[in-house]
A = this chain, B = another copy of it.
């Protein structure tokens, strides 16, 4: 699965900007491959891209329509299907991050078959994987881990990849979720593979590589999240990470979606992740902390980061506010 670029971003009838969060993430990281947006009636989201009709986007060279938007009711509506069928007839592939599958909508499936176009439901792995072998692979790997879900693990990984490449280092982002897959153009939605193969899918995603090459892997969930820790554990073992980055959002009052669950302490979370990671890579170590400080009062950010550095003895950054240079400085040789 490799997505053809550039993309036309489909916003459908997104009720607000948050519904287009996936699409916004793609545009933020890959403006170079997002050449336009297409909206239906009642769309209240905007990506700051030129509005385009399907024909116009095709003429401009767009190859894939990206459905990077949460839809109303979880189903693909008739209005959506009509537009996507027309896109297929014009030669577009279609890639979707919805739970509902494109291929399960009869007219979309039929159009793709008739016109020889590709449908990609990126939440649904299309291949099978071996169980993990646990065998040491050449090359190096970095994995962000979180105190909770949605604390900035993908953003941190992408910022680190960019900083490493800017320094001339050999680094590749490896996507494990839908937004990451649209950004990278390929990847595996590891939370959607069959449970026995979480680690095996991760091994497949980050294969042997040059000794100086870094895979910068998109993290998922948290070992301390009561719903998703199995995915986080399997990803950690399969990654065989040399370097971990602990990601945190300091204003969160409880684990996402679990009002009765407090967040773990930073030191506790770091220790649990290092302990688990060392099963498959005894050299695994946390190299720093990435804090999403956007909801802290601006005057408190630098004190907060300093406090984390003092507590853990590791560099602490906000990838947005301070950049990730101090994390890259601290990578093992």
Contacts and interface: CB of A to CB of B under 8 A. Distances in A.
A199 B229 contact: yes
Given A191-B195, A195-B198, A260 B135 contact: yes
Interface in A167-205: 190-196, 198-200
A75 to B, nearest CB: 15
A194 B196 contact: no
Interface in A274-314: 275-276, 279-280
A266 B135 CA distance: 24
Interface in A119-138: 131-135
Contacts of A235: 230
**Number of chain copies forming the complex:** 2
A245 B124 CA distance: 36
A276 B224 CA distance: 8
A228 B191 contact: no
A82 B306 CA distance: 72
Interface in A187-227: 190-196, 198-200, 223-224, 226-227
Given A134-B258, A195-B192, A229 B233 contact: yes
A144 interface: no
Contacts of A257: 131
A237 interface: yes
A132 B235 CA distance: 19
A153 to B, nearest CB: 16
Contact of A134 (B135, B192, B226, B237): B226
A272 interface: yes
A234 interface: yes
Contacts of A261: 134, 279
Contact of A226 (B194, B195, B226, B237): B237
A223 B237 CA distance: 10
Contacts of A276: 229
Contacts of A194: 191-195
Nearest to A130: B227
Interface in A131-149: 131-135
Contacts of A134: 226-227, 258, 260-261
B279 A230 contact: no
Shortest 7 CB-CB contacts between residues of A and residues of B: A230-B234, A134-B226, A233-B233, A132-B227, A198-B230, A191-B196, A230-B230
16 contacts: A134-B226, A134-B227, A190-B195, A191-B194, A191-B195, A192-B194, A192-B196, A193-B194, A193-B195, A196-B228, A198-B230, A229-B234, A229-B279, A233-B233, A233-B234, A272-B275
Interface of A: 131-135, 190-196, 198-200, 223-224, 226-235, 237, 257-258, 260-261, 272, 275-276, 279-280
